[in-house]
Amino acid sequence: MDKGRRIFLKQAGLGLSAWALTGRLRPVSREIHADVAIIGGGVGGCAAALAAARRGLRVVMTEETDWIGGQLTQQGVPPDEHAWIEQVGATRAYRAFRRGVRAFYRETYPLNEAARLRWNLNPGSCGVSRICHEPRVALAVLERMLAPHVSSGRLTILRNTHPVSASVSGDRVEAVQIRHALSGDETTLTASYFLDATEDGALLPMTGTEYVTGAESQAQTGELHAPAVAQPANMQAVTWCFAIDYRDGEDHTIDKPAAYDFWRDHVPPMTPAWPGKLLSWTYANPITLEPRTLAFDPRPGAQTEGFNLWIYRRLIDPANFEPGAYTGGISLINWPQNDYMLGNLFEVEDDEAARHREQAMELSLSLLYWMQTEAPRADGGTGWPGLRLRADVMGTRHGLAKRPYIREARRIKAVFTVLEQHVGLEARQRATGLPRDELRAVSFSDAVGVGSYRIDLHPSTGGDNYIDVASLPFEIPLGALLPERVDNLLPACKNLGVTHITNGCYRLHPVEWNVGEAAGALVAFCVKQNHLPRHVRENETVLVDFQRQLQRQGIAYRWPASIY
């Protein structure tokens, strides 16, 4: 029996009973029915599956790779979080995930005593997050959280599968066809509800759900930082992340990438201008756009003048572990230098998307080769040949992450769209005239969660430099989870009703988790009480009942006054 087909049958719950003694596959039903089908097993998909399965629904979740977890795992992006994350501003389930990560390190890793006793253990002691950790640890914790529901049969996870088509009747999605990457077999998923938790909003065009891409115009949104003319193809850069460690005195230089000469001399064409070559320690300060030069030294305990880029997304800090456990730390490379800005991975022809994917990979490998061979050092030398690509950390043969980090997806045309004037600090100041200490983001009567992050847009494929402006702690409105027309499809990822601008603060890990968890809870509420999602929002009594259930389930939808 073909290995891929054997894996597919096992994951689909079909077993091998259909395998005849003759060695031929008997006809089998290729249809799975559930209360909710979640297409995409990333951060939002996992949170949605957890929420729906906990409430007794039959759930099927697909995943394009062999790793669930999206940003946290297959893309290798440590959590980007707000300043209050240890106390408030996240769902109970997300906080349980974070506790699980720390517990995993305490239970299985050779932490030293000081690190083991630190209540807010940060394995990488990194600069970007309070809990930088390895993708495989995030994967293990997510698998553990979902395990009881898989064991009970309420949750089926179909890995290595992707959607290929959908069947729609009027304003309802009837079925989604998925294909297994190894066997090529197709399965039809039927369900009362479908959640699009894909990284790029792939289900939206398949189902005919109205959506937008790229940058809306000021005439459309009235946003302070929107362009004068709509630019549907102007999206944030994607990044193909990778992990490296450092072995002093050794040479782990990779083969010269085919596109290295191009990337070594490449100056991003954008406005305002990039300060020089992309492969450089100097880049555009995201807030001021002035040139900013960072230090880089991967040696343990290195002291540098200025911020050391090595620790920015470091996953493992040797200082947290017993002597000898690590000869050097492990760092995740998701930097301005490997943001790919030359084209989009979706809303283009397949051959163009494939070309951009290959070029994004070449950029990341070129960055590594440049660091190993030509990068200027503070001691006057060039290159760090001891930098070693850690393919094992990312679970791939090519050494990079399984999937690129996509910051900006297709977004539903929603019943309600969150605009910059709802959450942006400067925009709110202009709208209200209030002093800074009295400013608040707009409070939504239909809120189903909270989040906080700067409006952080990376350089774009349309030639825009950073847009990085302050925002206020915000709420997630239920209306942003409801498509204008389609009744039984909901976003559960970065594809909710936000704009190009507000995507910049609604795309981070805790918010994506909250969006997915709220979508899963909403489906469970609707199935059990026989409501349509839009009716929950339209009926005040029903809405209040749903919000009370969210509170009981540990999903806060208002920020406490203490944070202001």
Question: Does 258 fall in a domain?
Answer: yes
Same domain (yes/no): 435, 475: yes
Residue range 463-491, pLDDT digits in tens: 999 999 999 999 999 999 999 999 999 99
Same domain (yes/no): 288, 225: no
- Domains: count for the chain: 2
Same domain (yes/no): 312, 378: yes
Residue range 481-524, pLDDT digits in tens: 999 999 999 999 999 999 999 999 999 999 999 999 999 999 99
Q: Rounded CA gap, 297 and 310, in Å? A: 6
φ, ψ (nearest 5 deg) of residue 405: -80, 110
How far apart, in Å, are the Cα atoms of 186 and each of 34, 66, 162, 244?
Answer: 17, 17, 10, 37
Which residue from 180, 184, 142, 163 is spatially nearest to 47, judged by alpha carbons? 142
- Which segments of 6-111 are extended strands (E)? 31-39, 59-62
End-to-end CA separation in angstroms for the chain: 62
- Asked if residue 17 has pLDDT above 80, the reply is no
Same domain (yes/no): 242, 364: yes
Same domain (yes/no): 243, 390: yes
Looking at every residue in the chain, the average pLDDT score rounds to 94
> Contact 413/404 with Cβ under 8 angstroms?
no
Same domain (yes/no): 217, 244: no
Question: Does 468 fall in a domain?
Answer: yes
Find the helix packing angle between 43-54 and 92-108, rounded to 10°.
Answer: 110
How far apart, in Å, are the Cα atoms of 256 and each of 263, 369, 413?
Answer: 12, 7, 45
Instruction: Say what the alpha-carbon torsion angle 205, 208, 209, 211 is, to the nearest 10 degrees.
Output: 50
Same domain (yes/no): 390, 413: no
Question: Does 50 fall in a domain?
Answer: no
Residue range 398-446, pLDDT digits in tens: 999 999 999 999 999 999 999 999 999 999 999 999 999 999 999 999 9
CA 385 to chain centre: 31
> Contact 344/290 with Cβ under 8 angstroms?
no
Residue range 129-156, pLDDT digits in tens: 999 999 999 999 999 999 999 999 999 9
| Residue labelled with tokens 């297709």 | 410
- Asked if residue 264 has pLDDT above 70, the reply is yes
Domain span at residue 371 reads 238-394
Mean pLDDT within 313-320: 97
What pLDDT, on the 0 to 100 scale, is given for residue 1?
44
Question: Does 207 fall in a domain?
Answer: no
Question: Does 306 fall in a domain?
Answer: yes
- State the pLDDT confidence band at 365, using cuts at 50, 70 and 90: very high
> Contact 262/367 with Cβ under 8 angstroms?
no
Contacts of 93 (CB under 8 A, 6+ apart): 47, 50, 51, 145, 513, 517, 554
Residue range 19-38, pLDDT digits in tens: 333 344 443 448 999 999 99
Q: Rounded CA gap, 153 and 29, in Å? A: 18
- Asked if residue 5 has pLDDT above 70, the reply is no
Q: Rounded CA gap, 502 and 425, in Å? A: 12
Question: Does 100 fall in a domain?
Answer: no
What pLDDT, on the 0 to 100 scale, is given for residue 552?
97
- State the pLDDT confidence band at 118, using cuts at 50, 70 and 90: very high
Mean pLDDT within 444-460: 98
- Among 394, 421, 449, residue at a domain's last position: 394
Same domain (yes/no): 366, 382: yes
Residue type, 136: R
- Which segments of 313-460 are extended strands (E)? 314-316, 330-333, 339-340, 387-389, 411-412, 447-451, 455-457
Mean pLDDT within 326-337: 96
Helices assigned H by DSSP within 218-320: 218-221, 260-264
Same domain (yes/no): 381, 490: no
Mean pLDDT within 103-123: 98
What helix, strand, coil percent values describe the chain, rounded to 5? 30, 20, 50
Helices assigned H by DSSP within 153-297: 203-207, 218-221, 260-264
- Among 365, 394, 423, residue at a domain's last position: 394
Tokens of 346: 């979706």
What pLDDT, on the 0 to 100 scale, is given for residue 30?
86
- Among 360, 394, 428, residue at a domain's last position: 394
Higher per-residue pLDDT: 531 or 15: 531
Same domain (yes/no): 453, 539: yes
Same domain (yes/no): 274, 320: yes
Question: Does 289 fall in a domain?
Answer: yes
Question: Does 458 fall in a domain?
Answer: yes
Same domain (yes/no): 289, 385: yes
